Structure 1
Amino acid sequence: MAEASDRFLVVALDAEETRVALPAQRVRALAPVPALTRVPGAPAALAGLAGRRGAALPVLDLARLLAPAARPAPPGRMVLAEAGEPVGLLVAGVVGLTAEPGGAAILDVSDLVAGLLARRVAGSAASPALGGRAGTAEPGPRPDVGLMALTVAGRSYALPLDAVDTVTRLPEPVAPNPANGADLGTMPWRGRALPLLCLSARLGLGASPGRRVAVLGGIGLVAEGVGPVLRVRPEAIDPVPRALRRGGPATGFVRLDDGTLVCLLSPDALAPAGAQDPESSPAPAAPVVAGAEPMVVIDLAGRAYGLPAGAVRGVQRAPEALTRVPGAPHTLAGMLAMRGGALPVIDLRRCLGLPPGGEAGGRRLVTVEAGGVRAGLLVDGAARLVRPTSGAIRPVADARDDGVTRVAELPEGLLGLIEPAALLGRAVSAGRAPA
């Protein structure tokens, strides 16, 4: 019997069954083609990244790895191989394991992949957009990383929350500039013209601008959806392999709790040349002051309120049903079964003395955490982010016990700010919400 080192896995690359052979000692497993997360700006051979055992697995189209100009064949299987680091190889089909590959060309997987993928070693640099070093010992646990979720051409992306100045709506439909498909012109913004960039065109996904605008670095990124705010552990963010960056907009990949991967974008790489040049606009926007506190704007009974983004753990559609708690105060709408336990859900309209809301189908559930307490807040909507400067925030003259302790002066008026610690702390002191 031939030893494993003398055997080969023969695979077909296309519908014409062009065959190549992979040394069996390099093959770890065969698997169905997984869900893939696209890497903007990556070589054509990189089909995407897949979540595997808590890490991002590069998945390559083997036919395009051998011939970048080749048309991608519908993949039938994925070969999990070892090439200095684990990689997935998409093939049209698997012919079989044999000691004699016949006329199939024998591929050296390591040499083939070495020019495309950089090896990851313990302690390799983490995403430059987030700072720090992976694997570097630090005193105590590192705080969660804040991200702003984006929907672009039906796909999920994210930006570092600290880079986003505010989130707003596109005032009117705009069309891409024929000379530059990503250029959407400008919109009035705080006394100046804000350049607009079609994010789907910038990422090579076609012209699908959407109506939401994330303002950062002197430009507006237009997408189908912006939000919610995500909170993830630093170790859940993997950097893009150095050899794949090539100046592209992807700076890392975020592993969410449900196992999906979200591409993390670099704000610096997205901005077109000259977009941040102060000479490009006669009236530059007010700079973001160090210590400025981002706020998630929520809607309640036609009014707007703000929640500190640092306390927001997620935003989702309000559940259709909650478990009622006999004898609970009227502000507690019920309990919701969540991973890790039951989440108390507070009707924020009732807390603020506002009229009852409509049907739950159109409402949102904002999960907040403060003072060791986590709870859900029922609101009418939550889809904007603002970043008032520190000097624009002041305490209210007649602070109430409903959690509204400060107001922020914004160009569109005053925004009441809700302090989650005060709101949830009151519930805990009454023994109504579990920690």
Structure 2
Amino acid sequence: MSIDDELGVDDDTDDDNADYVTFDMTGERYAFPMSRVQEIIRMPSVVKVPLGPPSLEGLANLRGRVLPVVSLRTCCDMPGAEHDETTRVIVVDGGVPLGFVVDRVASVISIDPAAMESADSVQSTVNSDVLIGVIKTDGSSMTSVLDVDRLVGGQFDGLAARAASRDLAGAGRAVPQADEDDAESDDTLELVSFAVEGQEYALPIDQVQEIVQAPESVSHVPNAGSRVLGVIDLRGRLLPVVSMRRVFGLPMTDLEPQNRIVVVSLPGNGVVGVVMDTVREVLRVPHQLVAPLPSFVAGDGRKSEVESVCRLEDGKRLVSVLSVNRMFDSPEVRNEIAEHQSRGETAEMAEDQRAADDGRGDEELFVVFRLDEEEYAVDVDAVQEIIRVPDALIRVPKSYDFVEGLVNLRGTVLPVVDLRTRLGLVRTERDERQRIVVLIIGGVRTGFIVDSVAEVARVGRHVLEPAPELSAEQARLVSRVANLPEQKRMLLLVQVDQLLAAEQAQKLEEVVADEALAAV
């Protein structure tokens, strides 16, 4: 609905006057400059978003667009109120559309700019930081004019930053893309660390495609080379698997639940899985703490797989950084891997054909679950399995508040997290509908308790869009939204790798290791 339709405004106005949309809150009258108001709508149904600012009421669907809706009362430190038939949402241009909930919209007024007094000379019940000025009308009545940009910036730094970037781009100036985190990443080396025979190694994170749990067995291939264990099925594709122990010339051991397969990229667009004893954590190491490996260390005229060493904890902890190219620089090993990869081409082509036949080329698959009456989703490939919540969990003392405890899953210790608590929602009593969704976070298999699991949904890529950046933590956890207006649904897509910070994942791994040792 347009502003004029909502308020019954005549189009004949004086071009020399300034126009304002006026509205009421807590019995007082306020206004926004009409130039910043896009439209006025009734209070829509909203999807609540976890970890957003207190003023956020949720996300609404506005003709196919995702609209963040916030309470203007909360923004202005006023007491809350129930919505009723007079409640309206004023949609403003805040860099991206943003809706402010107000008690009632009054009218559009046109005034002489000289009729406004500066905010410096008046007092108001709202924070003066968001006040532009005051319009005096009808003798004693006053209308406070609020600053849209300061309201948006005070509540949503991400939206304000996006607006600033857009304004700079529109003015033909270069928009700086790097923030403080980007600048920090330029000065740091990001690594995935793991252990082999008690020693700590690492690979550059940009060479790691994913980390999966080692299966119970690997399909061995007759006459395979010394390093290649065989192949495994990775979501319909055959993946050659190499033993890091064999690469290092160490004694072989049977595959165990704590073993992980690190899938790395090879030169020439190939991939191979490397079996590690266990994966530890993601490291961000300043470059000044990284030194190249001395040339005399390799010996026997061959290059060492280690290309540099990180000196951590004042030199008490040394992490050897491996080079994927050096690990597989032997022609024999490359030929072995290529031979195994060729055996998977038929399976890959068949999978691609099936995807094309059923239309999955333009779709993504998600496991949909519910929390607090809202629908969330994670990529189906990230889900290891879904199990019932056991009657009892082993409590973990001095752990995070969101850690419910540990469960024995077929001989493996599984840490269990209450996802409601992790996302800042209210805990609920256990019931029969709840399930544990098992994911791998930072190399640790972790279970997350959800209210219920709804379905595996096919979602077209054309309905996926970035989630509004309402807070830093929310932007990391809920990165995208699947807007499905025909179904009157909105799915909040969760970034699995952001559910636990690196130190949290490491602490859970330590808890699991301690429990496993105690059980021996």
Q: 1:2 and 1:167, CA in 2 relative to 1: closer, same or farther beyond 3 A?
A: same
Q: 1:252 and 1:72, CA in 2 relative to 1: closer, same or farther beyond 3 A?
A: farther
Q: 1:181 and 1:206, CA in 2 relative to 1: closer, same or farther beyond 3 A?
A: farther
- Distance in 2 of aligned mates of 1:243 and 1:52: 17
Query: 1:181-220, aligned counterparts within 5 Å?
Result: 181-208=401-428, 210=431, 211-217=434-440, 218-220=445-447
Alignment partner, residue 235 of structure 1: 462
* 2:494 counterpart (241, 249, 265): 265
* 2:513 counterpart (275, 282, 286): 282
Alignment partner, residue 51 of structure 2: 41
Q: Does the 8 A contact of 1:176 with 1:198 survive in 2?
A: no
SS at match of 1:40: coil
Give the Å deviation of 1:170: 1.1
Query: 1:18-417, aligned counterparts within 5 Å?
Result: 18-67=28-77, 70-75=78-83, 76-100=87-111, 101-102=135-136, 103-115=142-154, 116=156, 117-118=159-160, 119=162, 143-172=362-391, 181-208=401-428, 210=431, 211-217=434-440, 218-242=445-469, 244-246=471-473, 249-256=477-484, 257-271=486-500, 273-275=503-505, 278-282=509-513
- Structure 1 unaligned blocks of 5 or more: 126-139, 286-435
- The residue type equivalent to 2:493 in the other structure is L
Alignment partner, residue 349 of structure 2: none
- The residue type equivalent to 1:222 in the other structure is I
- Structure 2 unaligned blocks of 5 or more: 1-12, 112-134, 137-141, 170-174, 178-358
Q: Does the 8 A contact of 1:10 with 1:19 survive in 2?
A: yes
Q: 1:195 and 1:278, CA in 2 relative to 1: closer, same or farther beyond 3 A?
A: closer
Q: Does the 8 A contact of 1:33 with 1:90 survive in 2?
A: yes
Query: 1:408-427, aligned counterparts within 5 Å?
Result: none
Identity %: 27
Q: 1:114 and 1:142, CA in 2 relative to 1: closer, same or farther beyond 3 A?
A: farther
Q: Does the 8 A contact of 2:56 with 2:68 survive in 1?
A: yes
- Distance in 2 of aligned mates of 1:153 and 1:242: 21
Give the Å deviation of 1:56: 0.7
- Distance in 1 of aligned mates of 2:383 and 2:21: 49
SS at match of 1:254: strand
RMSD, aligned CA = 3.4
Q: 1:168 and 1:113, CA in 2 relative to 1: closer, same or farther beyond 3 A?
A: same
- The residue type equivalent to 2:20 in the other structure is F
Q: Does the 8 A contact of 2:394 with 2:407 survive in 1?
A: no
TM-score by length of 1: 0.54
- The residue type equivalent to 1:281 in the other structure is V
Q: Does the 8 A contact of 1:20 with 1:107 survive in 2?
A: yes
Alignment partner, residue 239 of structure 2: none
SS at match of 1:25: helix
Please say which structure displays the higher CA radius of gyration: 2
CA deviation map 1:94-117 (0-9, x unaligned): 122223543222122134314522
Q: Does the 8 A contact of 2:23 with 2:104 survive in 1?
A: yes
Q: 1:83 and 1:157, CA in 2 relative to 1: closer, same or farther beyond 3 A?
A: same
Q: 1:151 and 1:81, CA in 2 relative to 1: closer, same or farther beyond 3 A?
A: same
- The residue type equivalent to 1:183 in the other structure is V
Q: Does the 8 A contact of 1:4 with 1:25 survive in 2?
A: no
- The residue type equivalent to 2:505 in the other structure is A
- Distance in 2 of aligned mates of 1:228 and 1:92: 38
- Distance in 1 of aligned mates of 2:437 and 2:389: 10
Alignment partner, residue 299 of structure 2: none
Q: Does the 8 A contact of 1:182 with 1:207 survive in 2?
A: no
Give the Å deviation of 1:141: 9.4
Alignment partner, residue 212 of structure 2: none
CA deviation map 1:248-274 (0-9, x unaligned): 532221112413212112222223643
TM-score by length of 2: 0.46
- The residue type equivalent to 1:45 in the other structure is S
Q: 1:249 and 1:113, CA in 2 relative to 1: closer, same or farther beyond 3 A?
A: same
Q: 1:54 and 1:177, CA in 2 relative to 1: closer, same or farther beyond 3 A?
A: farther
